[in-house]
Chain A
Amino acid sequence: MVQLNTGFTLFLSLLVEAVPFLLIGVAFSSLLLFFVDDRQLVGILPKNPLFGALVGSLIGVLFPVCECGNVPVARRLIVQGAPTAVSIGFLLAAPTINPVVFWATWVAFKGQPEIVFMRVGFTLLIATTIGWVFSHQADIGPFLQESVERSRFRGRGGETSAASPAETDTPALLQGGTFLAGELGGSFQLDTPVAQRLVANPVIEQSVASKFELALENMVRELRELGAVLVFGSAIAATVQVAIPRETILSLGQGVVSSIVAMMVLAAVVSICSTVDSFFALSFAATFTSGSLVAFLIFGPMIDLKNIGLLLTVFKGRAVFYLFGLAALMSFALSLFVNLYIG
Chain B
Amino acid sequence: MRSRSSNSSSPPQPPRQSRRGSGLFWREMLDVLALGVWSAMLFRYWFGGKLLLLLHPNYAWLSNSAAIILALLALYRAWQIFRATSASRSASASADSAHVTLLPGNLSSAILLTVAIFGLIYTPRAFASQTAVQRGISETLSLTRARPQRFERAATPEERSIIDWIRLVNVYPEPDAYEGESVDVKGFVIHPDNWPDNYLMVSRFVLTCCAADAYPVGLPVKLTDAAARADYAVDSWLSVTGQMQTETLDGRRQIAIAPTAIRAVEEPRNPYEY
One digit per residue, 1 when the CB lies within 8 angstroms of any chain B CB and 0 when it does not, for chain A 290-325 equals: 000000000000000010010000000000000000
Instruction: Tell me the A70-112 residues at the B interface (CB within 8 Å).
Output: 107-112
A194-B130 CB under 8 A given contacts A13-B124, A107-B59, A107-B209: no
Q: In whole angstroms, what is the CA distance A306 to B102 when docked?
A: 7
Complexed CA–CA distance, A187 and B130 (Å) = 52
Tell me the smallest distance from the CB of B62 to a CB of chain A, in Å: 4
Residue of B nearest to A249 (CB): B134
Question: With the chains together, A232 CA to B130 CA distance in Å?
Answer: 25
Q: Are B97 and A187 in contact (CB under 8 A)?
A: yes
Let me know if A286 is at the binding interface, CB within 8 A: yes
Instruction: Check if A335 is an interface residue, CB within 8 A of chain B.
Output: no
Chain B contact residues (Cβ within 8 angstroms of A): what range?
A: 35 or more
Interfacial chain A residues near B124, Cβ < 8 Å: 8-9, 12-13
Contacts of B126 on A, CB cut-off 8 Å?
9
Known A231-B112, A279-B210; contact A190-B63, beta-carbon cutoff 8 A: no
Given contacts A20-B63, A231-B111, contact A180 B102 (CB under 8 A): yes
Cα A229 to Cα B103 with chains together (Å) = 9
The reply to whether the CB of A150 lies closer than 8 angstroms to some CB of chain B is: no
Residues of B within 8 Å of A216, CB to CB, are 73, 76
Inter-chain contact B115/A231, CB cutoff 8 Å: yes
Query: Can you report 26 residue pairs joining A to B where beta carbons are below 8 Å apart?
Result: A9-B53, A9-B125, A9-B126, A10-B212, A12-B54, A14-B211, A15-B115, A16-B63, A19-B63, A20-B65, A110-B208, A111-B145, A111-B147, A112-B147, A178-B100, A179-B100, A191-B97, A194-B3, A224-B109, A224-B112, A225-B105, A229-B102, A282-B212, A283-B212, A283-B213, A285-B213
Q: Is B215 an interface residue (CB 8 A)?
A: yes
> What 1/0 mask marks residues of chain B from 9 to 48 whose CB sits below 8 Å from any chain A CB?
0000000000000000000000100110010001001000
| Size category of the binding interface on chain A | 35 or more
Distance of A107 Cα from B122 Cα, bound (Å): 26
B1 at the interface (CB under 8 A from A): yes
A257 lies within 8 A of chain B by Cβ: no
* Set A16, A110, A282: member contacting B55, Cβ < 8 A: A16
Is there an interface contact between A15 and B119, defined as CB atoms closer than 8 Å?
Answer: yes
B272 → chain A closest CB, angstroms:
11
Closest residue of chain A to B131 (Cβ to Cβ) is A6
**Nearest residue, chain B, Cβ from A192:** B94
User: Among A19, A190, A217, A286, which residue has its beta carbon within 8 angstroms of that of B145?
Assistant: A286
Determine how close the nearest CB of chain B comes to the CB of A227; give it in whole angstroms: 5
Closest 5 CB pairs of A and B: A13-B211, A191-B98, A228-B108, A283-B212, A20-B62
Docked CA distance A336–B165 (Å): 35
Find chain B residues with CB under 8 A from A5 CB. Answer: 125
